[in-house]
Structure 1
């Protein structure tokens, strides 16, 4: 099932509850991302946390001397730059050797996940942004909020590897 469809199916319909409670003021059940640890989520719930921003699909470069990580504006060759969805999600690791199949352990370990990443937010005990499809009910809010890389990234297929450093847009904190 495509991730954007599972997000629609899992959209929480209640009002925003206090993160420390299991239900809101009206007695509605709180959304799963407030009541479950990452390890407790079903596959559908886990996949629906991805907001489809495409930020994790940007090429990162690591400085071999310092270990610092640079983010480029170059997107993985499998990323559809219009939808910010992987064009071959089920078999992506067969085609991209360093593609990460994110796990709860990875969320705790990987420093380059964006601050807006739902996996990171849930792990840190924070709530999802208003623009997240599980909150808003539509994928378009990720684009409206400027969270997605649509319009700012280019495919790695258009750039020779030795030119990657010319496309660095920022450095992550160590």
Structure 2
């Protein structure tokens, strides 16, 4: 698969640009604990940890089109930006279940709302509620220590 074909698999939902928090449940003393923010990126999740999604998105994301405003420069501007390749698909625990790369990797195929199945348009994806459009705040508007106030479950939803 060439780069253009690989990039076309991306549905352009913007969920990969959401900030996530890893909550550690390993200290199970019967009391509720606040989520622990990871101030540095990670490429694994430990036993007893849970990945939680926020509605806080990278400041580079255009929240109307759900596209990166600086896509070709994103990894230089945001060093921990997600860059999926055919070689790192086994490590995509942080991608939501609706991610087209994850769906294909898990043998589930593309969803009916995917732009490739809709004349290259994102309309069906937005109508199905599968993008971040209208649901997010930019990370330059929210203090990282307040991310736990922005936890959401909608990124975990998957349609067909």
Q: TM-score range by the shorter chain?
A: 0.7 to 0.9
List aligned pairs for 1:41-60, cutoff 5 A. 41-60=1-20
TM-superposed CA distance for 1:145, in Å, is 1.2
Aligned with 1:154 (options 117, 137, 145): 137
Q: Within 1, Cα distance between the matches of 2:136 and 2:89?
A: 23
Q: Number of residue pairs matched?
A: 132
User: What is the TM-score of this pair, normalised by structure 2?
Assistant: 0.76
- Aligned equivalents of 2:125 and 2:67: distance in 1? 12
Please identify which structure carries the higher helix content.
1
Cα displacement (A) at 1:105: 3.3
| Aligned position for 1:80 | 62
Q: Deviations over 1:94-139 (max 9, x none)?
A: 1112112111233221212121111112112222111101011112
Instruction: Give how far 1:156 is off.
Output: 0.9
RMSD (Å) for aligned C-alpha atoms: 1.7
Greater shift, 155-164 or 58-67, is seen at 58-67
Unmatched segments (≥5 aa) in structure 2? 27-47
Aligned residues of 1:107 and 1:113 also touching (Cα < 8 A): no
Q: Does the 8 Å contact 2:16/2:82 carry over to 1?
A: no
- State which structure, 1 or 2, has the greater radius of gyration over its C-alpha atoms: 1
SS of corresponding position for 1:100: coil
Are the aligned partners of 2:92 and 2:102 in contact in 1 as well (CA < 8 Å)? no
Partner Cα separation in structure 1 for residue 52 and residue 103 of structure 2: 22
Q: Counterparts in 2 of 1:24-173, with a 5 A limit?
A: 41-63=1-23, 66-137=48-119, 138-170=121-153
**Within 2, Cα distance between the matches of 1:68 and 1:104?**
25
